[in-house]
Amino acid sequence: MESNCIFCKIVKKEIPTHVLYENAKYLCFLDINPVTRGHALVIPKRHSHDILECTPEDRDGLLEVVMKVAPAILKGVNAVSFNIGINTGKPAGQSVFHTHMHIIPRTEKDQLPNWSSNPAHAKELHRIREKILPFL
């Protein structure tokens, strides 16, 4: 537990949240600033800064909880699909540094932008691949 971590405080029930699911190791609650109705967060109760620092055990169990809760969220808010996401690091949008996974219900009508992308040339893809492979 980190004394000044907001999600650790949520785990300890020092800050109230709208809990959807809880077991010994994980907690799922509604995001206080939702992207869409039903936007929820799944966290391991054990503190880690981000998914890179999270233990493999805590990390792998996250998806299990997501798969348990997401179908219920979809039914509950009448959504047809969802995004799951893990923002890792400030440039990627991480603002709370306690590992968490977002579940964001989506509907045809929500008008949310998806990631913008542009086609890349094969040469560029080859160059990037060459840079990455030595680290694998």
Interface residue list for ligand AMP (CB under 6 A): 6, 15, 17, 31-33, 41, 87, 93-96
47 binds, among ligand AMP, Zn ion, none (CB under 5 to 8 A by kind): Zn ion
76-135 residues in contact with Zn ion (CB under 5 A) are 98
**Rounded distance between C-alpha atoms, residue 29 and residue 60, angstroms:** 19
Residue closer to ligand AMP, measured from CB, 31 or 84? 31
Q: Which does 93 bind (CB under 5 to 8 A by kind): ligand AMP, Zn ion, none?
A: ligand AMP
Binding letters toward Zn ion, positions 1-20, x by CB under 5 A = -x--x-xx------------
Q: Applying CB under 5 A, what is the total number of residues that bind Zn ion?
A: 6
Binding Zn ion (rule: CB under 5 A), the pick from 39, 47, 100, 102 is 47
The residues that are catalytic are 100
